[in-house]
Every structure is written in C-alpha cells, then in structure tokens.
Amino acid sequence: AQSVTQPDIHITVSEGASLELRCNYSYGATPYLFWYVQSPGQGLQLLLKYFSGDTLVQGIKGFEAEFKRSQSSFNLRKPSVHWSDAAEYFCAVASSGTYKYIFGTGTRLKVLA
C-alpha cells in the first residue's frame, strides 16, 4: 500500500541551527514528492517538489530536499533556521497522472530564540 511516514511528530531547534525533517515513502511507481508548510490556523503552502532530474531540489524560504531512491526518502533541510520557520511541515506523494496525494501526518517545528 502507498504510504508516507514522517517519523518525528515534534522537533525543537535553536534559531540559527540546521534542520532536517525526515520523510519516507512507500510507493511502487516513480513518486512525485512534495513538502508543504502550514502556519497555525492557516492553509498549506508548497515549499518544493520533486518529480525528475536532479535529486537535490531547492524551494522557497531557503529550504531544500534530497530524493534518495535507495532509501525511499525525501528529507527536508535548511542550513540555518529562523524563528519564522516555526510551523507544521507535511510531506506528500503522488503518482504520475493522478490528482490524489497521500500526506504524512506532519512534523511540528518549534524554534527556540
């Protein structure tokens, strides 16, 4: 069955520290992978996406993610976290030609001043 796992429910980092949020997927075909961010009480905003080509993709707000097929992972990274990055982050996967996504359960990021 298709699935997306975000193993960390909560992560706390200090402002200026590096960040890595984990995402593992289970998918038979070549996946289309996404990271979204959600501020409290708001909708989701697309950070970045991968569907082919270079396995390291750059997104908005200084985020990047690396697709590793051998590990079925698509981890999100940021070299230096800002207080405004505190939010919930969702990984999602879709297959080619489909309209339906499978979302992970989210990772809530707290940033310490």
Interface positions with other proteins (CB under 8 A): 9, 32, 34, 36, 41-46, 49, 51, 90, 94-101, 103-106
Decide whether 15 or 95 has the Cβ nearer to other proteins: 95
CB of 34 to other proteins, least distance (A): 6
- Shortest approach of other proteins to residue 25 CB, angstroms? 13
Q: Give the nearer residue to other proteins in terms of CB position, either 34 or 63.
A: 34
Cβ count within 10 A of residue 56: 11
Terminus-to-terminus CA distance in the chain, angstroms?
41
Cβ 15 to other proteins shortest distance, Å? 26
